[in-house]
Structure 1
Amino acid sequence: MNAACPSCGTVFEKEPGYFVGAMYFSYFLAVPIYALLCLLFLRLLRHRSELLAFGIALLLFLPLGPLLFRASRLLWLYLDCFLQKKLR
């Protein structure tokens, strides 16, 4: 990740631990996606084991982890910018 935005100059890492809150966004994005994948595969694999459905959902979900974390950092930055503008 860049230290600052090349276009507007916004500094991304404002202090140590700044993106800890982004982990909460990542969690809140990940849980519904994984739950929907599980429900989808439980529905598709009705006559097979639930463990197989959860395993397939997990295998499809794992590559999304880095993308979800990037999206959560982006949402955290947007929230911070929004709140900074609102406080001014």
Structure 2
Amino acid sequence: MVTTPNHRFSPWAILHQRCSECGEGRVFDGAFRMNERCPVCNVKFERGPGYFTGAMYFSYALGIPIIAAGVLLGKLLLVPHWPLHWITLVVWVCFLPLAPAVFRYSRILFIHFDRYFDPDGAGD
């Protein structure tokens, strides 16, 4: 059991979807089910009602560049003769299988950034 808070920004923990405090416990128990607490250090992930609303901003910041890159790649290299709206539609459809990963990483990033900048939850 970890007794002292870590509060380090750890790219490894983010990449491997681990706890922001101990860097060991898994944040997600299944594809979409989050653990309420870290199985290693017992830190509670959701600090209060509506806590993960902030993760939507991270989701937007992750999703839009992926879609924009896909549209640019399609228009400039792959199918330049297609109308832009068709390329955009195809890119959105191709993005749909990535949506679960964006969902997970947006929450992971939000937890890590929130714990880094507000370790005690004083900003609640």
Relative CO higher for 1 or 2, CA cutoff 8 Å, sep ≥ 6? 1
More moved, 41-50 vs 17-26:
41-50
TM-superposed deviation, 1:50: 2.0
TM-superposed deviation, 1:11: 0.3
Matched, 1:34 2:78: no
Listed as ranges, the gaps of 5+ residues in structure 2 are: 1-33
Q: Distance between the aligned counterparts of 1:20 and 1:74, measured in 2? A: 13
| Aligned residue in 2 for 1:64 | 98
TM-superposed deviation, 1:72: 0.6
Q: Distance between the aligned counterparts of 2:56 and 2:66, measured in 1? A: 15
Among all aligned residue pairs of Structure 1 and Structure 2, give the percentage whose two residues are the same amino acid.
43
TM-superposed deviation, 1:18: 0.5
Does the 8 A contact of 1:42 with 1:50 survive in 2?
A: yes
Q: Distance between the aligned counterparts of 1:72 and 1:48, measured in 2? A: 32
Listed as ranges, the gaps of 5+ residues in structure 1 are: none
Q: What is the number of residues matched between the two proteins?
A: 86
Larger helix percent? 1
Please give the TM-score of this superposition, normalised by the length of structure 1.
0.88
Q: Distance between the aligned counterparts of 1:56 and 1:74, measured in 2? A: 28
CA RMSD of aligned residues (A): 1.6
Aligned partner of 2:45 among 7, 12, 21: 12
Q: Distance between the aligned counterparts of 2:62 and 2:42, measured in 1? A: 28
